[in-house]
Structure 1
Amino acid sequence: MSIKSRLAIPFAKRVKKSVLKWANNPLKTQEKVFQHLVSEGCKTAFGKDHDFVSINNYEDFKKRVPINDYEGLRPYVDRVVAGESDVLWKGRPLYFAKTSGTTSGAKYIPITKESMPTHITAARNALLLYIAETKDARFVDGKMIFLQGSPVLEDKSGVKLGRLSGIAAHYVPNYLLKNRLPSWETNCIEDWETKVDKIVEETLPENMTVISGIPSWVQMYFEKLIEKTGKNISELFPNFNFFIYGGVNFEPYKNKFESLIGKKVDYIELYPASEGFIAYQDTQTEKGMLLQLNSGMFYEFIPATEFFDENPTRVSLKDVVLGVNYVIILNTTAGLWGYNIGDTVEFTSLQPYRIKVTGRIKHFISAFGEHVIGKEVELALNEAIKGTPINISEFTVAPQVNPEVGLPYHEWFIEFETAPDNLEAMAERIDASMQEQNIYYRDLIEGKVLQPLKITRVQKGGFHEYMRSIGKLGGQNKIPQLSDNRKIADVLSNFKAGS
């Protein structure tokens, strides 16, 4: 054990003590953040337009600040991008995080001098709390990799512009720089497949101890390693003992990953967004991720079932309850106000406040009023493959409204690494779980409005080919696991597996 790994353990204990201090005083912590945001917001154009000076409490705030998405804040963001100061937050941003938009095209999310450190601190603390819990810091002596976007940044009116993961690459602590892979040159490669091939070359001879990234793209990396060597990941990297991921529910991919790795490993789930680092898994023994309450973000929550109502319920942390699917709303030191990032979450614990991501408010199926959400399809799939040798590479679900024969149905596009012997039996298991979870779906089946779901097998590599066809192969791009239309499904139909 090196000096670095020995020092990491007492440092991790100190950080854990600091985290527990605010985690055990959640409402006081959030009130302090709220007061700071309002006080600083008074000095901005947004704050003046919304009468921040007269805000004394959260009820006042709700009356003055509407729920916004990017389009709602765009007039202010455009002013920031044009070079104006003190618009959404004091001064000008340090960076713009570029993300993919829908109606708005590219989105430019401001990252400020105050907000940037919270991204880095949260990522660091996720590792340190793992060390504090396991009392094992040996991984810091090995090599660590994060499959991420290019760190090359552009200039936008005097502000650096890039993907969040590329921006974060500039903040790797000095004590980890020697451990970090891939090389800077490789990280700058834009073509994803070329980049992964180069990462394979660079990592093969190394003592890899930590690997992280979006599961579907890490899987591609693992498969290339195995194809090149004929060995599983634990044979190649015997000291690799935990995987860090974010962006998707990992459960449907877990069997496949453990098959590729060749042994069970620990997992750390992160919830980083361009708008803020919202949560991370703080323990291996409890479900959910610790909500970051002292990171310059004041959270609001709206029940997902009410979100599209004219006057939905809008609450702060003190009024949330377990078992409710909420749309999460952010107010941040980057100048985002009443901002809907589009994610839905559910609390797994209120002491401390831990959450799990349940889906996207825009990613649902309700072509017939069934209101199916991401959490339901993920659980149904997990239950269907539990205890079986079936391995899933990727999946997505869409309604089939106009089938050539029979009633409409939900079509599940699944790419299998290890396929079931009986596809119809698997479809029946999934459908039974969906009916048990969702009363609306069950009523539509029983009322002969829908027929039970059908599984369409996607050829191996089909989802990668789909992502390539839309120019989103690699990086932080991921496929929605369900949608209310056939836009994705109709393209995936070109990649059906042979019977």
Structure 2
Amino acid sequence: MGLKSFFSRPLAAYVASRYRRWQQQPEATQLRLLRELAATAAGTAFGQAHDLGAVRTPAHLGRQVPVRDYEGLKPWFDRTQAGEADVLWPGRPLYLAKTSGTTSGTKYIPITRASIPNHINGAKDALLHYIHATGNSRFLDGKLIFLSGSPALEQHHGIHTGRLSGIANHHVPAYLRRNQLPGYETNIIDDWEAKLERIVDETLGQPMTLISGIPPWVQMYFDRLTARTGRPIKDIFPDFNLFVYGGVNFEPYRAKLFESIGRPVDSIELFPASEGFLAFQDQPGNPGLLLLLNSGIFFEFIPAERFFEDNPPRLSIADVELDRQYAVVLTSNAGLWGYSLGDTVRFVSLAPHRVVVTGRIKHFLSAFGEHVIGEEVEQALRETMALFPEVEVVEFTVAPLVSEDAATPSRHEWLVEFARAPQDSLAFVEKLDMALRRRNTYYDDLRRGSILAPLQLTALPAGAFQRYMKSLGKLGGQNKVPRLSNDRGVAEGLK
């Protein structure tokens, strides 16, 4: 056992004990944080315009600060990006995290000196909780890889700007940096495919113990390794024992990824976003992610079915219930106020508060009134794949297919790239359709009434999703394919 591995265990025990203290008082922890945030920002331009000095309770926040997404807060973000100080948070941001927007193009999310520990400590504490729960710390003695965006940063009016994963790369603790791969010169390569080849060059022959990244891009890395060597990952990296991931639901990728590895390895799920590090899997085997209530973020939750109302309810941590879909709203020390994150979650535990990420509030399929969400299609696919063990899925998305013939009902089209297709595709479609009907009563009603026909399965050729993402300039990094669409844009792009 190396020194890092040895000394990590008492540190892990200490961090876990600190977490337990605030977990015992979740409501008081969040209320205290809200008051600190409002008092600190009361003198900023936003604080004065919204009378943040008067905010003492969640109800006050709801009256003073409306829920807005990036576009709604863009005039304030633009002032921050232009270098103006004391706009949303005292001073100027330490960084601007650059990410893709849906309607406003590129988004620039402020990261302040107060909020950067949220991003860095969240990932670090996830690893320490894993060590505390399992006693496994040997991964710290080997080589670690974080498949991320470029750490090269631009300047916007004197503010360092880049992808969140690249920004975080500058804050990897010194005691881990010596273990980290790939090197800086490889990491700053913009072209994902060229970068991937260099990463393979650098990591082959290294004692890799931890691999981290978004599952589809990790799968690309594994495919390149196997193509280069003709061997499974377990033989290429015999010491590999921990996979860390986030950004998408792991389940659709699990079977193929573990087949590529060739044996089980432990995994940790994270819930990171450019707007903040929200949660992590604190118990191996428990799918719930521990919500970080003491990390600079005050959380509000809007019932997903009421999100698009004119004045939907905004619930604090004291008001949430198990097994309901909520849209997440953030107020944070990054200068985000009543910010609609766009993600939806479902609570699976209230003591402590743990969630699973269920999708995007704008990524649902309701072209015919069915309001199908990401979690439902992912669960339906996972259940169906369990009945067809030969099937492996690389990637998929679902879109409406509106019939041009009045005598023929419309339907959902599932566009799937298979690593191994079902032997009986008709039976697969039947079981998949039934699995979705069991999960969504509106879809079931439309099917019973013959308003919708059974789903159509379209098998795409190998590499279709990679080519599509490359055509958008979104291959690799933190980019993700939407699971659901209300139009044919993604579907036609893939075809």
Q: TM-score range by the shorter chain?
A: over 0.9
- CA RMSD, Structure 1 to Structure 2 (Å): 1.0
Pairs within 5 Å for 1:189-268: 189-268=189-268
> Equivalents in 2 of 1:8, 1:103: separation in Å?
44
Alignment partner, residue 496 of structure 1:
none
Alignment partner, residue 389 of structure 1:
390
Cα deviation digits, residues 3-41 of structure 1 (max 9, x gap): 221111111111111111112221111111111011112
Cα deviation digits, residues 245-282 of structure 1 (max 9, x gap): 10110011111011100011111000110100000000
Q: How far 1:448 moved relative to its partner?
A: 1.1
> Equivalents in 2 of 1:223, 1:424: separation in Å?
29
SS at match of 2:311: coil
Pairs within 5 Å for 1:253-402: 253-386=253-386, 388-402=389-403
Contact 2:99-2:106 within 8 A present in 1 as well: yes
Cα deviation digits, residues 56-102 of structure 1 (max 9, x gap): 32211111110011111111111111121111000000000001112
Q: How far 1:53 moved relative to its partner?
A: 2.2
Query: Does 1:73 pair with 2:73?
Result: yes
Contact 2:34-2:56 within 8 A present in 1 as well: no
State the number of aligned residues. 493
Q: How far 1:55 moved relative to its partner?
A: 2.2
Cα deviation digits, residues 267-300 of structure 1 (max 9, x gap): 1000110100000000113221000111110000
Q: How far 1:396 moved relative to its partner?
A: 0.4
SS at match of 1:189: coil
Q: How far 1:403 moved relative to its partner?
A: 5.2
SS at match of 1:413: strand
> Equivalents in 1 of 2:54, 2:393: separation in Å?
54
Contact 2:31-2:57 within 8 A present in 1 as well: no
Contact 2:68-2:339 within 8 A present in 1 as well: yes
Alignment partner, residue 444 of structure 1:
446
SS at match of 2:364: coil
> Equivalents in 2 of 1:344, 1:240: separation in Å?
32
SS at match of 2:343: strand
Pairs within 5 Å for 1:16-95: 16-95=16-95
Matching residue's letter, 1:129: H
Pairs within 5 Å for 1:165-180: 165-180=165-180
Cα deviation digits, residues 202-234 of structure 1 (max 9, x gap): 101100000010100000000000001011001
Alignment partner, residue 5 of structure 1:
5
SS at match of 2:428: helix
Matching residue's letter, 1:489: A
Alignment partner, residue 428 of structure 1:
430
| Stretches (4+) displaced over 6 A | none
Q: How far 1:336 moved relative to its partner?
A: 0.4
> Equivalents in 2 of 1:45, 1:53: separation in Å?
12
SS at match of 1:160: strand
Normalising by the residue count of structure 1, what TM-score does the alignment of the two structures yield?
0.97
> Equivalents in 2 of 1:33, 1:52: separation in Å?
13
> Equivalents in 2 of 1:399, 1:343: separation in Å?
22
Alignment partner, residue 465 of structure 1:
467
> Equivalents in 2 of 1:54, 1:38: separation in Å?
8
> Equivalents in 1 of 2:431, 2:349: separation in Å?
29
Matching residue's letter, 1:397: V
